[in-house]
Amino acid sequence: MTASFLLAQVGAHAASLFAERLARLKLAPWHAGILRILNSTPAITQQTLATTLGMVPSRLVVLVDEMESQGLIERRENPDDRRRYALHITEKGRSTLDRIGRMSREHSQALLAAISEGEQRQLATLLQRIADQQELTRGVHPGYRHSGRVAREVSE
């Protein structure tokens, strides 16, 4: 097996397991990513968020509407441009993000149980080097480009 095959195999498996964990909260991985970004970048516009995620804005609207109806985020009038709205994480969104963080740590521990903590740090360093060389945006999953289609499937 090549390293790239194993990387793809483990990555797909890890993503599937994490999605199963998030489904217990009635969430999908892209919800977690959006909450994380809004927590660290309050008052971001939908357009800027879509650009950050590499997502078509019309696809993001579906996700934002869904998350707003769940009380996880809210749109507020943008004081700099009243034609646009700024997105903010709510208290419920923050508490959900805390739960996601705990789930993420449990997921990581279970997934990486076969290797030592030192090996885990080394693996993370090597993977980050590969991600940087591939010019991937740190902290942004490339799957957001396809999330509009998947969001409709999850909500049905």
CATH number at 107 reads 1.10.10.10
Residue 139 counted as domain residue: no
Residue 53 counted as domain residue: yes
Give pLDDT tens digits for 40-85.
Answer: 998 999 999 998 888 888 889 999 999 999 999 999 988 778 788 8
Residue 133 counted as domain residue: no
Q: CA 106, 115, 3, 130 torsion: positive or negative? A: positive
Quickly state the pLDDT bin for 155 (edges 50, 70, 90): very low
Total number of domains in the chain: 1
Q: Which domain holds residue 101?
A: 17-113
| pTM, rounded to two decimals | 0.82
Residue 2 counted as domain residue: no
Residue 108 counted as domain residue: yes
Tell me how far apart the alpha carbons of residues 87 and 108 are, in angstroms, rounded to a whole number. 29
Residue 29 counted as domain residue: yes
Residue 145 has what pLDDT? 56
> Is 88 in a helix, a strand, or coil?
strand
Residue 43 counted as domain residue: yes
Tell me how far apart the alpha carbons of residues 55 and 9 are, in angstroms, rounded to a whole number. 25
Residue 100 counted as domain residue: yes
Give pLDDT tens digits for 82-139.
Answer: 788 899 999 999 999 999 999 999 999 999 999 999 999 999 999 999 999 998 887 7
